[in-house]
Every structure is written in C-alpha cells, then in structure tokens.
Structure 1
Amino acid sequence: MFALVRRADVAEVIGAALAAKASGAGARMIAERLGRPVETVRGGLRRFGQRAEAVRRYFTVLLVDAGVDPAPPGTSRTLFADAVAAVVGAWWSMKLRWLGVGKVSPWLAACAVTGGILLAPSWPAKTINTSRP
C-alpha cells in the first residue's frame, strides 16, 4: 500500500508535508516546496492535527511493542511534532525487528500499518491490525 485513502498524493509526499510542518514550516511554504495546491496541503495537515494525539498514542504503543530495545521519543514543542516523531520512531523499531521494513519509508510503513486510513475521516485507531507491519 503506497497511498492513503481519500488523499491525492502518495504516502511519501504526505509524510514530507507532515515532517515539514513538525519542523515549523507553514502550509504555503510546504505547498510551494512540494509543488502541490496549498488547499490540498492545508487539508492534510489539518486532518493530521485533528488526530495528532491518537496518532501519537497509537504509534508510541507500536514503537514499544515492536521494539527490541525501544526508546520512545521525548516530547517536542508541539503535539503535531510528537505525533510525527512517534510515526518515525515506530518505523525505526519495526525496521530493527523486521529488516524488510527498512526498505520502505516511515510513511509507507505508516500507510501499511493503518491500512491506508491514517488520514481518513473515521480513523478508528483501536481497530487497526498491528499484526501486519
């Protein structure tokens, strides 16, 4: 799976936008950098921001569960950045446990783990199947 449900871009593009936002960039700058419409970028950032706490919590648990010797990320300056750090941290834990995971980006892994619904309107984190990273 390489795309998120109801999103026009592939997981890497969306992940790049999320990482840029977590680093402090604004939607206009991100859109310009990625060559995407600002409304599209703003919509994805808004959706992720609305569920940042659920994403942070879900991927932190995945990070710990998958980790051989897990080290959960510390807190960042924003909840949004914490959620992005949890996604990347979970990918890192999965990569250390299952070598094949390292062949894909953190955002492709997040897409696969969530079944493509990470940014879907009804992302029910409690029903995601974590047995297939």
Structure 2
Amino acid sequence: MTHVLLPVSGLSRRADMAEVIGAGLQMKAAGVGHRRIADWLGRPYSTVRGWLRGFAARAASVAGVFTSHLVALAGDPSLVLPAPASSAFADAVAAVIASAMAVRDRFGVLAAPIWEVASAISRGLLLAPGWPPTSRR
C-alpha cells in the first residue's frame, strides 16, 4: 500500500487548492451560479459544477461536523453559532467558516487561510465521496 501526504492547501483528489474551491463554495452560498463562479475562478464549468454538487449532496452532514467542531472549541456556543442561512448549502458553508475561524482564534493561527483550516479539519476529505461518514446503528 502506498500513502501520500496531502498538504492542507489541497483537498483529496482535487487539482485546485482549498482556497480556490472554498471561494467557489462561498460564491454559491451567496447565490451565484456555477457558470459565473467558473468564469470568475478561471475553471471549467464541469469542474465547478462537480464541487458544488458534491458539497450540496452532503451539506447537512458537513454542517453537522463543522458545527460540532465549533461548539467543542468555543466556550459559549450561543455566542458563535452562525445564524441560519438561506439554504442547507449556505448553512454548511457558514459552519465551515465559523469553525475554521474558531480554530484560528483558539490556537492563535490568525494568518491561516480559512479553507486550509477547513481542509485540515476534514483531513482533506471535504469533497470526497463518503465524507463525512454516516453514523452506524
């Protein structure tokens, strides 16, 4: 078996850096369509559509994982939980950003890019099939 170390600037099986993908996810959460996102980022439409579909399919689970991290890091969760957004997708993006900001604040790594922190929290699997794992009964 071969193991590959992935820097936090990347996501598993993705050619684009976490910050580029994260920018696309944030734009989608703000209501921008995949074609405009792709044009803005200089990426193929199909690539951006794949990011968005993959994230959307697991948005509720992703939001749960990142909200759990946020609550674990924050002293008073009522002060830091993001307000409900316009969609499950936007809620998940807000949870990712809030959790990453809590990590930065808690550990004093304020210069760490948000989406690199998110990549570290997800172990590079943010857009990977099967992540986050579903609970078994």
Deviation at 1:103, TM superposition (A): 1.6
* 2:87 alignment partner in structure 1: 78
More helix by share: 1
Q: Deviations over 1:69-123 (max 9, x none)?
A: 43211111100000000001101211221102x2211110010111101111121
Q: What is the number of residues matched between the two proteins?
A: 126
**Larger-Rg structure:** 2
| 1:108 aligned partner | 116
RMSD: 1.4
Q: Could you say which residue in structure 2 is the equivalent of 1:64?
A: 71
Q: Please, what TM-score do these two structures have when normalized by structure 2?
A: 0.87
1:24-48 CA distance string (max 9 Å, x none): 0000000000000000000000000
Aligned residues with identical type, % of pairs: 47
Give the partner amino acid of 1:83.
A
Q: 1:126 to 1:114 in 2, by over 3 A?
A: farther
Q: With structure 1 as the length reference, what TM-score do the two structures score?
A: 0.89
Q: Which runs of 5+ in 2 are unaligned?
A: 1-7
Unaligned runs of 5+ in 1: 128-133
Which ranges of 4 or more aligned residues in structure 1 deviate by more than 3 Å?
A: 124-127
Instruction: Describe the shift of the 1:27–1:34 C-alpha distance in structure 2 as closer, same or farther (beyond 3 A).
Output: same
